[in-house]
Structure 1
Amino acid sequence: MALRDDGHVSESRRRWPRQVYDHGSDPDPRFSLANERTFLAWARTGLALLAGAAALDALDLPLHHVVQSLLAALLALAGMLTAGSAWWNWARTERAMREDAALPGNPAMVVVVAAAGVVGLVLGIASITRALT
């Protein structure tokens, strides 16, 4: 830990994660708080995908059990990737703000849209097939 001239521990050394807070200077708190809200929204999305996976696995749907299990696994994987990327994107954005650099993009949106699209498509086809028979 680094000591300042007045003998106190430097504030940046006490903050975690260091790969974020040991760089640049503190941005306007409004921007940091907005970044945190975005992180929390992505974390909630990851939890919702995991809840959807649990529901899909628990329900008795007119699908072959292997297809239903694969869809549940796809949603669970998408939920875990979304939650993990929420942290990664928060850290990248916070560090960019601290270094007064351009803000990074967020590729996690593709994961959420792709997983929801595949699951929706398969469930839609199953519903149509069931209605026609």
Structure 2
Amino acid sequence: MPKPEVTTAFDVVELFVGDDDGMLWLTLGFASLGEPLDVLHIVCGKTPTGILEEDALYLERTSQELACSGEVLAIALQGEGLVLALTPEGAGALELPEHVRFTFKAQPALFAQAVEMLAQMEAVGHACITVRERNE
């Protein structure tokens, strides 16, 4: 399968992670067009419920008006950054392109923290996240 072409890149300057209230979350802070500090929250439950809608990866930008659930095609490592691939519906809901690259040039130490939280989300069962080698 050919790699999607990534046309938009944002450099992460802040990062927050959480593991509370039964949820895992990762917040990437970056500058975007018109927003000096934009954010993207990536959230999932710590324990799968077996209900597709409840177990879907939830993404929210600056408000609940810019949010989607179950619209992530992939989150993967690419070099020292992350690539996010969204469905057209997810991209529209978040007002982002379908393919976005997040770099960590300004704050390289944040990359390991992001990968660690995404690995926890992957371990919960989110097959769309690929940050560690799979032994299959």
How would you bin the TM-score normalised by the shorter chain?
A: under 0.3
More helix by proportion, 1 or 2?
1
More strand by proportion, 1 or 2?
2
Whose radius of gyration is greater, 1 or 2?
1
TM-score by length of 2: 0.23
